[in-house]
Structure 1
Amino acid sequence: MTAIRRLLMLCLGWVLFSAQAALAAQGEVVARPYGTVPGMNYGYWEYLPLGYDDAPTEEFPLVVFLHGVGEAGNGNATNLEKIMNRRAPPRLARDGRDFPFILVSPQRFNAFIQVAEIDAIIEFAKVHYRVDPKRIYLTGISAGAIQTWAYAAVHYDKLAAVVPIAGNGNGVNLCPAAASGLPVWAFHGTADGTVSPYGSINAVNAMNTTCSPKANPAALLTLYTGVGHDSWGRTYDGSAGHDVYTWMLGYSL
């Protein structure tokens, strides 16, 4: 076998291996450590829905999940595991939950990811994956929920719906989002000693009563009586009786 033929065979083998790896990623959550994906400034967890590779022209909904302070890290393979410590979409996908959307879960050294950074992640996903731009959803916990509120206040026109959990939307002007008709469903525990439940109560009340025009559809708020800071586990896994995924996907721009 000539050297050129050997090289061609090696290249063909790599192409076949790469194709098989891409197919295997469907329905699985995959670590994408910092520096391994061109155009992405963070390490992140990637989930592609079943059927993604079988429908090469189809666009899929995108959900971006933002973590809290306890899951902050530099995005390497080891630190990305911190995100899996929470009962949230990436962990549910690892545990076998099938989702009908693309899931991107970035990790940042400081959980208070800035609005411009969130926007860059969404724009990256729109280029890197086959994202339906009319079905982009943002959700987060604690600090990630605070930044979900912050992003929604500015880029409401890019989002089909948001689900902030144990966050605080008091410091931002949500009236433009209310006027745009952005669907919001906030969750909080009444015994949360880390982020006051009024961070969700006041934000939802402002959208529904203070803003003019008022939110339409009305912003939703679910309070868990006696529950502390972790109000997200029971929300994301559905054990509290709520299906936030069907709710989100029921809306599009």
Structure 2
Amino acid sequence: MNGVRCLLLSLVWVLFSAQGAFAAQGEILARPYGTVPGMSLGYWEYLPPDYDDNATVSHPLVIFLHGTGDVGNGSAAALEKIMALNAPPRLIRNGRDFPFILIAPQRFNAFIPVADIDKIIEFAKVHYRVDASRVYLTGISAGAIQVWAYAAVHYAKLAAIVPIAGNGNSQNLCPAAASGLPVWAFHGSADGTVSPYGSINPVKALNTTCSPAVNPAALLTLYPGVGHDSWGRTYDGSAGHDVYTWMLGYSL
């Protein structure tokens, strides 16, 4: 009798676990600090709607890095600060689906070190079915500054980057140019927080200073008269740009 009861309990647990996994796909879920072994930060997790349909299929990965106004300790309450942004996590919560895995970590300081970004990407490769040839990095403000910093060192791991309102002036991007890393930078021309030249100069360097120049040519979109928040209109597509299709068009 005890053996039958244990078997029933095991079946219930398996069913519960399967339902939990199924419920996760197509939703944005908070993974608070300390709840996921191997991950040192709290983060938002999104799995595409077809994630559980085939256990052998791998998926693109997008890492989104927040700015200084969205810092926190990674608790469930703190992670909600990221939802204030008109960015992929909130777009998903509001009903938008994407064909990629999204990880949006939160840190007490938005300037996440390059080594820590690399750990996040490697964590994702181990814990999710990630297509390692289709890893993309995007971020805003301080997060975009770190996108540039990571790309300067680990360009060989990235299929494309989209830094928004960032500053890549201090980075040597010529090795990334030689690798052919696709880049699309965005900035507001009236940004008083991070100078537009933080995007203008690195894109120019990739296209004209570096030898060889990057191929495909790095792209730059400047929004006339727009201040620091140049990301909302970029991520939601209201400015007429589809950065998601663009990113997913590239692979290693």
Q: Same fold (TM over 0.5)?
A: yes
Pair 1:179-2:215 in alignment: no
Report the Cα distance in structure 2 between the residues aligned to 1:58 and 1:160, rounded to whole angstroms. 18
Identity %: 79
Deviations, residues 106-163 of structure 1 (Å, cap 9, x unaligned): 0111000000000000000000000001000000000000000000000000000000
Report the Cα distance in structure 2 between the residues aligned to 1:12 and 1:74, rounded to whole angstroms. 37
Pair 1:158-2:157 in alignment: yes
Runs of 4+ residues over 3 Å off in structure 1: 2-8
Q: Write the letter of the residue equivalent to 1:192.
A: D
- Aligned partner of 1:135 in structure 2 is 134
Report the Cα distance in structure 2 between the residues aligned to 1:70 and 1:12, rounded to whole angstroms. 45
Pair 1:192-2:181 in alignment: no
- Aligned partner of 1:248 in structure 2 is 247
Pair 1:239-2:238 in alignment: yes
**1:17 Cα shift?**
1.0
Q: Write the letter of the residue equivalent to 2:63.
A: V
Report the Cα distance in structure 2 between the residues aligned to 1:175 and 1:191, rounded to whole angstroms. 28
Report the Cα distance in structure 2 between the residues aligned to 1:141 and 1:7, rounded to whole angstroms. 51
Report the Cα distance in structure 2 between the residues aligned to 1:123 and 1:147, rounded to whole angstroms. 17
- Aligned partner of 1:77 in structure 2 is 76
Q: Write the letter of the residue equivalent to 1:46.
A: E
Deviations, residues 219-251 of structure 1 (Å, cap 9, x unaligned): 100000000100000000000000000000000
- Aligned partner of 2:201 in structure 1 is 202
Report the Cα distance in structure 2 between the residues aligned to 1:8 and 1:122, rounded to whole angstroms. 38
Secondary structure of the residue that 2:148 maps to in structure 1? helix
Q: Write the letter of the residue equivalent to 1:8.
A: L
- Structure 2 unaligned blocks of 5 or more: none
Q: Write the letter of the residue equivalent to 1:124.
A: F
Q: Write the letter of the residue equivalent to 1:158.
A: K
Question: TM-score of the superposition, structure 2-length normalised?
Answer: 0.98
**1:10 Cα shift?**
2.6
**1:13 Cα shift?**
1.5
- Aligned partner of 2:114 in structure 1 is 115
Report the Cα distance in structure 1 between the residues aligned to 2:106 and 2:10, rounded to whole angstroms. 33
Q: Write the letter of the residue equivalent to 2:226.
A: V
**1:85 Cα shift?**
0.4
Q: Write the letter of the residue equivalent to 1:95.
A: N
- Aligned partner of 1:104 in structure 2 is 103
Secondary structure of the residue that 2:251 maps to in structure 1? coil
**1:181 Cα shift?**
0.2
Pair 1:20-2:19 in alignment: yes
Pair 1:167-2:166 in alignment: yes
Deviations, residues 24-71 of structure 1 (Å, cap 9, x unaligned): 111110111111111111110000001110111001000000000111
Secondary structure of the residue that 1:206 maps to in structure 2? helix
**1:217 Cα shift?**
0.7
Q: Write the letter of the residue equivalent to 1:200.
A: S
Q: Write the letter of the residue equivalent to 1:114.
A: P
Pair 1:45-2:41 in alignment: no
**1:6 Cα shift?**
3.3
Report the Cα distance in structure 1 between the residues aligned to 2:34 and 2:17, rounded to whole angstroms. 19
**1:4 Cα shift?**
4.5
**1:103 Cα shift?**
0.4
Report the Cα distance in structure 2 between the residues aligned to 1:3 and 1:38, rounded to whole angstroms. 32
Secondary structure of the residue that 2:134 maps to in structure 1? strand
Report the Cα distance in structure 2 between the residues aligned to 1:171 and 1:215, rounded to whole angstroms. 18
- Aligned partner of 1:35 in structure 2 is 34
Report the Cα distance in structure 2 between the residues aligned to 1:116 and 1:222, rounded to whole angstroms. 29
- Aligned partner of 1:55 in structure 2 is 54
Report the Cα distance in structure 2 between the residues aligned to 1:241 and 1:222, rounded to whole angstroms. 11
